[in-house]
């Protein structure tokens, strides 16, 4: 792509706010002239750095930059979206006209025109909290960190593979719409991961830290320091080797304490996705699936025990799914999805809110990048901490049970009822104490039955905002970063071990 | 879209800049990959268009090897200033790294070790690449019309576009490929049941009405699904179900998975690991295949026999991994650097002579079998034993006495691919199949025994 005007060249170098909004207004005007009844336009500049080590070597140092504009238009009652990297004035006008033409084609395949629920036209700037811009931290510091972890892991006899990863993303985004909104946002996301694998005699076991796929937060380099990878390298290596000779997790109905990061993914799959209103309305049925949480169940379904409170909180400071405004300009909110065990709310957008008669969009429209139309996504879907104290208190309060930690595999049906998860490790609990390490643990169930069996949730001191960097949804599929605050919780008579039971 | 000559010009300019910056003290080797993609997707649900998007994106990656230090930088500005900035960024990073004496320079074509020729095929169709929003809307209307006539609700996508990949490097290698694509997938809903059908092609030859008919027939036949006890069943897997299960096996044929001790096939080369009914090749030239004729380093992909009558015959390799394992070089590298190393991307599973109808007819009066249209959310539970879990979806039926007896509620399975591929009873004709877990491949329907269903769900 070549810069073809002074205005554009300036924007590419600095993304100066007044000039960028001036450019966006050209797109909005072109859409209006082409018959748009609504238009929004987003310019996003993304910068990323990905560092990966394998054993004692740097495997990949990849740095990327991408800038472009996505223009979304309502015309003839239908949606159209068009995106380009060419930010010349002419190109923006052409892109807006093309979006309008696409919208008209959509309108020809609609019985009713799409309506948007009102939202104030915000003029605001928002910056994610960060202390250390990760792009200012020297490469040597980052590499030394990962390679020192690898050295520790590889020293443990029986280890066959050590891997490490650091990932940093900086997004600068400008949003404007035909209703007068002008929003500028800066988001910095940081992720870190170390993994140890032991393989022998046809078996292989992997242990990760801080969680599988890496812990991501909306934060600067300080999170890498906070999670202190070197202090945990030996522990995961020893556990991976120990798992090779550990007994297999039994099959049965067993009281189980689920560790916070695994519970984060459980929340993601069995509360986050089913509460997406586009799924509940059947709009995602062709790929991601639908939802058992249909609108007739709102305010009525006992989703979980009275202890279970789940929120969609896009305002949680530093959590991966936070923002100031979503990608259609709706202000970040914190709303209950489940209150005292009852299903209370949806993740929604301006058009789906209008379809079911909500008063306001829940503000969950997010796009992977400038070249994707926003769709309903999770923000931070979190389990409100309980009053059961610490993880140790939970274990002490369990006579005969299991403790499972760190996700290994995950699968759930297309309506979000039946799920099966496996974790990297589990421990027996006997008379309030942790016992033997067990390998290949798994559990399964039906979503409402599972949440209704929850009888204890640890408190705020054991609460962590876990981040999931790889949530797939939509066609073409978009990858989104979502947050899941959770503390460890206990589930009575959980079905355990069917995966490995051999039928 | 970037044309071949434009790509060449950009690559030459980038290589020229690197050459000028190279010195004896700081020798620079460079591999440049240019990627250009335009994709338009019309989405509909409830018989109405819900989203409609079109996006174009060009990017350029420089994999720099500076005095034994490797960095990859990716940007999108392809003018001289953009290329200079990107190169500078890469050189600055490289200067901070330690030397890796095991780093290899970019690939050379017609090297002594590998003199192979590029497979020749054409997978570009101008009309498919340039399909308009109006034309896609027309296809959507055709599908919806069939659904309305049959009284069901239809959702799906029509997605068209094309992409260009061009590679050039400081050892003289140059490659270019442009290919078009059309993907249509449809889900019909008939109250308490759904039916699905999907097709992928490199040209606009998909019969959308016939595809809609398939999805709709499944949905209508699936109404009032009944409970069934989980357990081990004789099972008929349609090609999409076969594709989405076997997709979890392909990396186990890659050299890096063996080097890293992560392959379930480790130390099994040359041994019989699957049913003798199973024969698999990786062949990018197959007429039902798609994708690039060269690998991530620009070397011509070789056709490789992976499994022959159940025997694990070959590992796919790249330059470095072939050298490390002392195996033939097959040119299956992913774009480097990549922790997975290589991947067979053009799978062709040899078919048999038992049609899907014959498989259904073969189920006796005292037998029960389950027919799966597709599988969903398949994940690896145990990489060592290749134990997979997943759900059935969009068309699950009980077969008895030679015919479909009734629709059943969806089931969760836990199945080892080693068990599955040793339990093959019969294979049908191999077809170009598309699923959602793996990329499209050429696979047959399968009749297998003892498929392990562990739980039922509520629909």
**What does the pLDDT look like over B212-234, one tens digit per residue?**
999 999 999 999 999 999 999 99
- Measured at the CA of A159, the angle between CA A156 and CA A161, to 5 degrees, comes to 130
Q: Which among B172, B192, B221 is the end of a domain?
A: B221
B133 → closest Cβ in A105, A202, A503 = A105
If asked whether residues B135 and B278 sit together in one domain, one would say: no
**Residue A148 at interface with chain B, using a CB cutoff of 8 Å:** no
* Each residue's pLDDT expressed in tens, for chain A with a length of 503 residues: 444 455 555 555 567 888 999 999 999 999 999 999 999 999 999 999 999 999 999 999 999 999 999 999 999 999 999 999 999 999 999 999 999 999 999 999 999 999 999 999 999 999 999 999 999 999 999 999 999 999 999 999 999 999 999 999 999 999 999 999 999 999 999 999 999 999 999 999 999 999 999 999 999 999 999 999 999 999 999 999 999 999 999 999 999 999 999 999 999 999 999 999 999 999 999 999 999 999 999 999 999 999 999 999 999 999 999 999 999 999 999 999 999 999 999 999 999 999 999 999 999 999 999 999 999 999 999 999 999 999 999 999 999 999 999 999 999 999 999 999 999 999 999 999 999 999 999 999 999 999 999 999 999 999 999 999 999 999 999 999 999 999 999 999 999 999 998 64
Q: In residues, how long is chain B? A: 459
Residues 302-341 of A with CB under 8 A from B: none
- Final residue in a domain of this structure, among B221, B239, B268: B221
Residues B191 and B279 placed together within one structural domain of the fold: no
Residues A38, A101 within the same domain = yes
Residues 121-140 of chain A whose Cβ lies under 8 A from any Cβ of chain B: 138-140
Residue B294 lies in a domain: yes
A 389-428 residues with CB < 8 A to B: 408-415, 417-418, 420, 422
Q: From CA B27, how far away is CA B105, in angstroms rounded?
A: 11
Q: Is B440 a domain residue? A: yes
Answer whether residue A313 is part of any domain.
yes
Number of structural domains in chain A: 2
**Burial (0-12, 13-18, 19+ Cβ within 10 Å), A397:** middle
Round to whole Å and give the CA distance between A74 and A335: 28
ipTM for this prediction: 0.96
Q: Is the domain of A233 the same as that of A266?
A: no
* Mutation target among A285, A301, A355, A438 for the B interface, most CBs of B within 10 A: A285
* Nearest-angstrom CA–CA distance, A383 and A366: 22
Name which of B156, B232, B454 is nearest A286 (Cβ-Cβ). B156
Same domain, B263 and B325: yes
The partner residue sitting opposite A282, judged by closest CB among B45, B97, B157, is B45
Residues of chain A with Cβ-Cβ distance to B98 below 8 Å are 58
Together in a domain, B357 and B459: yes
The answer to whether B389 contacts A411, with C-beta atoms less than 8 Å apart, is yes
> Which tokens belong to A280?
């509940």
CATH number of the domain encompassing residue B67? 3.30.160
Interface probe for B, chosen from A101, A109, A243, A421 (most Cβ of B below 10 Å), is A109
Q: Are residues B205 and B266 in the same domain?
A: no
> Which residues are CB-contacts of B16 (< 8 A; sequence separation ≥ 6)?
none
Same domain, A240 and A256: no
- A257 and A201: one domain? no
In a domain, A139, yes or no: yes
- pLDDT tens track for B303-356: 999 999 999 999 999 999 999 999 999 999 999 999 999 999 999 999 999 999
Q: Are A427 and A434 in contact (CB under 8 A)?
A: yes
Task: Find, in chain A, the residue whose alpha carbon is nearest to that of B93.
Answer: A139
Of B118, B166, B165, B115, the residue nearest B329 (C-alpha): B115
Measured between CA atoms, how close is B353 to chain A, in angstroms?
31
Contact predicate A321/A216, CB 8 Å: no
pLDDT tens digits, one per residue of B92-104: 999 999 999 999 9
Report the C-alpha gap between A391 and A487 in whole angstroms: 8
Same domain for B297 and B419?
A: yes
- Among A215, A304, A202, smallest CA distance to A265 is for A215
Residues from chain B that touch A78, judged by Cβ atoms under 8 A, are: 49, 52
Q: Is residue A284 part of a domain?
A: yes
Same domain, B27 and B148: no
Q: Chain A residues with CB inside 8 Å of B434's CB?
A: none
Of B221, B246, B280, the last residue of a domain is B221
Q: Which residue range forms the structural domain that includes residue B165? A: 126-221
Domain count, chain B: 3
Please identify, among A244, A274, A307, the residue that sits at the C-terminal boundary of a domain.
Answer: A244
Strands A78-84 and B48-66: parallel
- One-character DSSP codes across B385-443: TTEEEEEEEEEEEEEETTEEEEEB--EEEEEEHHHHHHSEEEE---EEE--SSS--EEE
Chain B touched by A9 (CB under 8 Å): no
Residue closest to B158 by CA, chosen among B122, B194, B211: B211
Comparing alpha-carbon positions, the chain B residue that sits nearest to A60 is: B337
Residues A166 and A137 in one domain: yes
| Residue A62, phi-psi category: left (phi > 0), alpha (psi -120 to 50), beta (remainder) | beta
Residues of chain B with Cβ-Cβ distance to A163 below 8 Å are 339
Element (H, E) at B127: helix B126-129
Residue span of the structural domain in which A113 resides = 6-244
How many angstroms away from the CA of B38 is the closest CA of chain A? 10
SS3 A89: helix
Q: Which of A45, A411, A440 to mutate to test the interface with B (most CBs of B within 10 A)?
A: A411
CA distance A267 to A347: 14
CB B1 within 8 A of CB B128: no
- For chain B, the C-alpha Rg in angstroms (whole number) is 24
CA pair distance B81, A169, nearest whole angstrom: 24
In a domain, B384, yes or no: yes
Which of A212, A244, A276 terminates a domain? The answer is A244
For residues B244 and B384, membership in a common domain is answered with yes
- Determine whether the interchain pair A84/B378 forms a contact, defined as Cβ–Cβ distance below 8 Å: no
Would you state the torsion angle of the CA atoms of residues B248, B253, B257, B261, taken in this order, to the nearest 10 degrees?
A: 100
How many Cβ atoms sit within 10 Å of the Cβ of residue A113? 12
Q: Do B455 and A61 touch (CB under 8 A)?
A: no
Which tokens go with B382?
Answer: 């145990």
Q: Is A1 part of any domain?
A: no
Distance CA A492, CA A451 (A): 10
């Amino acid at each position: 792509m070549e810069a073809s005007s002074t205005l554009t060249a300036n924007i590419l170098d600095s993304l100066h706010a007044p000039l960028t909004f001036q450019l966006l207004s050209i797109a909005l005007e072109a859409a209006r002239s082409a018959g748009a009844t609504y238009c929004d336009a987003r310019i996003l500049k993304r910068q990323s750095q990905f560092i990966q080590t394998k054993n004692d070597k740097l495997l990949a140092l990849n740095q990327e930059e991408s800038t472009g504009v996505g223009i979304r238009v309502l015309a003839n009652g239908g949606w159209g979206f068009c995106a380009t990297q060419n930010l010349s004035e002419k190109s923006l006008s052409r892109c807006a006209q093309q979006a309008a033409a696409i919208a008209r084609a959509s309108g020809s395949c609609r019985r009713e025109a799409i309506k948007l629920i009102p939202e104030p036209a915000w003029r605001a700037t928002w910056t994610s909290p960060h202390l250390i811009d990760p792009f200012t931290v020297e490469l040597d510091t980052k590499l030394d960190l990962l390679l020192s972890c690898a050295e520790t892991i590889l020293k443990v006899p029986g280890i066959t593979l050590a891997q490490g990863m650091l990932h940093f993303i900086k997004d600068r985004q400008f949003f404007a719409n035909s209703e007068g909104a002008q929003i500028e946002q800066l988001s910095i996301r940081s992720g870190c991961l170390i993994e140890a694998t032991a393989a022998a005699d046809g078996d292989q076991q992997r242990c990760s830290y801080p969680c599988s796929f890496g812990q991501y937060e909306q934060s600067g380099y300080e999170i890498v320091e906070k999670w202190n990878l070197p202090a945990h390298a030996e522990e995961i290596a020893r556990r991976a080797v120990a798992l090779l000779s550990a007994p297999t997790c039994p099959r049965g109905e067993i009281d189980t304490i689920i560790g916070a990061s695994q519970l984060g993914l459980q929340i993601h799959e069995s509360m986050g996705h089913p509460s997406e209103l586009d799924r509940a309305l059947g709009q995602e049925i062709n790929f991601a699936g639908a939802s058992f949480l249909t609108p007739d169940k709102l305010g009525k379904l006992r989703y979980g025990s009275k202890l279970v409170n789940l929120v969609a909180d896009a305002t949680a400071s530093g959590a991966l799914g936070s923002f100031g405004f979503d990608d259609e300009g709706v202000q970040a909110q914190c709303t209950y999805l489940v209150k005292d065990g009852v299903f209370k709310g949806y993740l929604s957008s301006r058009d789906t809110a209008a379809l079911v008669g909500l008063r306001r969009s829940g503000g969950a429209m997010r796009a992977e990048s400038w070249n994707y139309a926003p769709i309903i996504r999770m923000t931070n879907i979190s389990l409100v901490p309980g009053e059961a104290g610490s993880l140790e208190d939970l274990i002490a309060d369990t006579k005969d049970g299991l403790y499972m930690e760190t996700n290994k595999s995950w699968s759930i049906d297309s309506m979000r009822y039946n799920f099966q998860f496996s974790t990297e490790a589990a421990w027996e609990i006997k008379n309030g104490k942790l016992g033997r390490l067990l390998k290949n643990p798994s559990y399964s169930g039906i979503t409402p039955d599972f949440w209704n069996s929850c009888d204890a949730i640890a408190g705020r001191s054991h609460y962590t905002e876990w981040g999931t960097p790889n949530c797939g949804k939509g066609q073409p599929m978009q990858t989104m970063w979502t947050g899941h605050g959770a503390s460890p919780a206990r589930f009575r008579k959980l079905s355990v071990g069917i995966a490995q039971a051999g039928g | 879209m970037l044309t071949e000559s434009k790509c060449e010009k950009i690559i030459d300019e980038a290589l020229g800049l690197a050459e000028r910056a190279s010195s004896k003290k700081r020798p620079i080797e460079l591999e440049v990959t240019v990627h250009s993609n335009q994709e338009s997707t019309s989405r509909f649900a409830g018989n109405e268009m819900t989203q409609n998007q079109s996006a174009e994106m060009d990017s350029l990656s420089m994999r720099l090897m500076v005095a034994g230090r490797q960095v990859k930088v990716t940007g999108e500005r392809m003018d001289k200033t953009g290329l200079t900035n990107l190169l500078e960024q890469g050189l600055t990073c490289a200067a901070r790294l330690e030397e890796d004496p095991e780093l290899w320079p970019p690939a050379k074509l017609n090297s002594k070790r590998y003199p192979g020729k590029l497979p020749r095929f054409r997978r570009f169709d101008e009309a498919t690449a340039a399909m308009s929003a109006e034309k896609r809307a027309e296809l959507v209307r055709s599908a919806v019309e069939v659904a309305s006539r049959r009284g069901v609700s239809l959702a799906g996508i029509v997605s068209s576009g094309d992409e260009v990949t061009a590679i050039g490097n400081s050892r003289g290698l140059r490659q270019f490929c442009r290919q078009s694509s059309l993907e249509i997938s449809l889900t019909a809903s008939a109250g308490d049941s759904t039916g699905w059908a999907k097709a992928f092609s490199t040209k606009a030859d998909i019969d959308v009405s016939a595809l809609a008919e398939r999805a709709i027939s499944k949905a209508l036949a699936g109404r009032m699904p009944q409970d069934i006890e989980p357990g081990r069943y004789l099972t008929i897997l349609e090609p999409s179900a076969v594709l989405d299960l076997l997709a979890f096996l392909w990396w186990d044929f890659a050299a890096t998975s063996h080097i890293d001790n992560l392959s379930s096939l480790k130390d099994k080369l040359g041994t019989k690991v699957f049913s003798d009914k199973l024969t698999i090749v990786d062949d990018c030239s197959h007429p039902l295949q798609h994708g690039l004729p060269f690998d991530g380093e620009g070397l011509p992909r070789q056709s490789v026999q992976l499994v022959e009558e159940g025997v694990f015959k070959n590992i796919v390799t790249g330059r470095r991994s072939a050298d490390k394992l002392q195996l033939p070089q097959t040119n299956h590298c992913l774009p480097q650097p990549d922790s997975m190393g290589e991947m067979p991307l053009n799978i062709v599973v040899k078919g048999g002579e038992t049609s899907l109808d014959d498989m259904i007819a073969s189920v006796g009066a005292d037998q029960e079998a389950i027919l799966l249209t597709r599988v969903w959310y398949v994940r690896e539970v145990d990489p060592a034993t290749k134990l997979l879990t997943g759900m059935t979806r969009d068309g699950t039926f009980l077969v008895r006495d030679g015919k479909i007896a009734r629709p059943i509620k969806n089931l969760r399975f836990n199945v080892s691919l080693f068990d599955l591929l040793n339990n093959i009873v019969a294979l049908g004709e191999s077809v170009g199949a598309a699923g959602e877990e793996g990329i499209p491949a050429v696979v047959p329907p399968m009749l297998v025994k003892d498929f392990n269903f562990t739980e039922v769900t509520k629909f």
